[in-house]
Amino acid sequence: MTEIDQVMLNFSPTSLAILNGVLAIVMFGVALDLTVGDFRRLLDTPRALLLGFFAQFIFLPAATFLLVLLVQPAPSMALGMILVAACPGGNISNFITHRAGGNTALSVSLTAVATVCAIIMTPFNLAFWGGLYAPAAPLLTETSVSPFEMAWTVAVLLVFPLAIGMAINTRFPALSARLRRPMRILSMLIFAAFVLGALGANWQHFLDYVSLVAGLVLLHNAIALGGGYGIAWAGGLDEYDRRAVSIETGIQNSGLGLILIFNFFGGLGGMAIVAAWWGVWHILSGFALAAWFNRRPSRASGATA
């Protein structure tokens, strides 16, 4: 093991409980934009759904594994990369897709579907790809990660708040409309404040090791964004939909990743620093990509997005 593999970040049980609550609030805010119709609408465009699912849960974990084999990072860093790749799309992907002139409805629907599928796919991809990478496999064994426990954690943190938010949006649309914008802003501010607080408590560890992960996260994120766009292009989707699939693939729920790291791996340094830096970087890269896309208008159904 390298030095970074032995670092355990300072994160109390109280902090973990707060982070769990923050993520649930974030997902509740996302769900206020969703209805059952968002899922039904995907039945009319199954190709976009299947390509988005493929990019998110099959391409990205496999590409991450190949990148890990090529670069050979420290075992905990490799496992952190695989875990981030195994997570569903991040909660800001819908907003970034809108800013990019992409298909926001498709983005919202893919976020919802990926969140539900994450109950199975996140534990499976972590166990499968992490187990294939020999240097990282012992970390999975030593921590005795149970895919079933992880699936339950994902369900509680993501699916339950999603269901409650959708139910409110369906039964009380006026209330949902009033809550939507304040909840989105509040949840993002709370999450940002919490991440900054956690970084502050572990600032020296972050300074010591971020240089090891920064370039790797940049490359990893670029592969995710570019791969998602390429898969959508190869699958025959138009530009409007390609942007949504690209951003859904490249904006990962690193908050969920951090929770799983602290729940199941005790805050293992390499994993946590990769997930934390991904959470910072994908916001910067996402908005930069959106600005670039926005200079090139896309069209959907004859209208400019």
User: What is the pLDDT, as a whole number, of residue 104?
Assistant: 79
Please give the chain's pLDDT, 305 residues, in tens: 566 655 555 655 666 677 777 777 777 877 787 777 766 766 777 899 899 999 999 999 999 999 999 999 989 899 999 999 999 887 778 778 888 988 877 887 888 888 888 889 999 999 999 999 998 888 887 666 677 777 887 887 778 888 888 889 888 888 888 887 788 777 777 766 766 766 666 666 677 777 788 899 999 999 999 999 999 999 999 999 999 999 999 999 887 888 888 878 877 778 888 888 888 888 889 999 999 998 887 655 334 33
Round to the nearest angstrom and report the end-to-end CA distance of the chain: 50
C-alpha distances (whole Å) from 264 to each of 11, 44, 196, 242, 260 are 13, 39, 22, 35, 6
CA geometry: angle 293, 295, 297, nearest 5 deg: 75
What's the confidence (pLDDT) of residue 186?
78
User: What structural domains and CATH numbers belong to the chain?
Assistant: 3-298 (1.20.1530.20)
